C-alpha cells in the first residue's frame, strides 16, 4: 500500500499533460465536486450518483462536440462510448425508478388490505358484543 501512495504523490508532482484550453468549466468542476461528495456519503443513493454521472458525461460529450472538427478517430470512438454509457445509465435509472414505483404501489396495496382486514375484525367483534 505504501508503494501506491508514493507513486501517486510522485505523479501528482509532475505537471498535468492536459492543455490549458481543456481545463474544466465551472459547471463541469461543480458537477465533479457533487459526484465526489455523493460517492463519499455513507449511503450513496443510486439515483443521485447516477444523475451526477449523467451530468458529467453530458459535459464531456458537449466538450467533444464543440471541437468535433479537430477530433481524431480515437476521440470519435470515445464520444460514441460516452454516449452509449450515458444512454445505458439513463435506462438503468429509469428502470430503477419504475421498480421503486411498483414497490411503493405494492406496499400501499398491502397496507390498504391490512386496514380493510382490521375493519372487518372490528365489525365482527362489535357484532359479537351486541349478541
Q: How far apart are CA 111 and CA 122, in angstroms?
A: 16
Q: How far apart are CA 131 and CA 74, in angstroms?
A: 85
Q: In Å, what is the CA distance from 110 to each residue of 67, 83, 96, 97, 115?
A: 55, 41, 21, 20, 9
Express each pLDDT in 54-74 by its tens digit: 888 888 888 888 888 888 888
Residue 9 has pLDDT above 50, yes or no: no
DSSP symbols for 31-84: HHHHHHHHHHSTT--HHHHHHHHHHHHHHHHHHHHHTGGG--HHHHHHHHHHHH
Residue 10 has pLDDT above 70, yes or no: no
The model's pTM? 0.53
Residue 117 has pLDDT above 80, yes or no: yes
Express each pLDDT in 69-109 by its tens digit: 888 888 888 889 989 988 998 999 899 889 989 998 888 88
Q: What is the pLDDT of residue 95?
A: 92
Terminal C-alpha separation, the chain: 79
Domain edges within the chain: 23-130
Mean pLDDT of the region 41-59: 80
Amino acid at each position: 500500500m505504501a508503494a501506491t501512495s508514493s507513486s501517486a504523490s510522485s505523479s501528482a508532482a509532475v505537471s498535468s499533460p492536459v492543455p490549458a484550453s481543456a481545463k474544466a468549466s465551472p459547471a463541469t468542476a461543480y458537477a465533479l465536486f457533487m459526484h465526489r461528495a455523493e460517492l463519499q456519503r455513507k449511503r450513496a443513493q443510486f439515483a443521485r450518483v447516477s444523475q451526477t454521472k449523467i451530468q458529467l458525461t453530458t459535459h464531456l460529450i458537449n466538450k467533444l462536440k464543440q471541437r468535433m472538427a479537430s477530433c481524431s478517430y480515437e476521440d470519435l470512438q470515445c464520444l460514441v462510448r460516452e454516449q452509449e454509457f450515458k444512454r445505458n445509465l439513463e435506462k438503468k435509472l429509469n428502470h430503477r425508478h419504475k421498480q421503486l414505483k411498483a414497490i411503493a404501489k405494492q406496499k400501499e396495496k398491502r397496507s390498504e388490505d391490512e386496514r380493510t382486514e382490521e375493519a372487518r375484525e372490528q365489525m365482527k367483534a362489535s357484532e359479537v358484543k351486541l349478541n
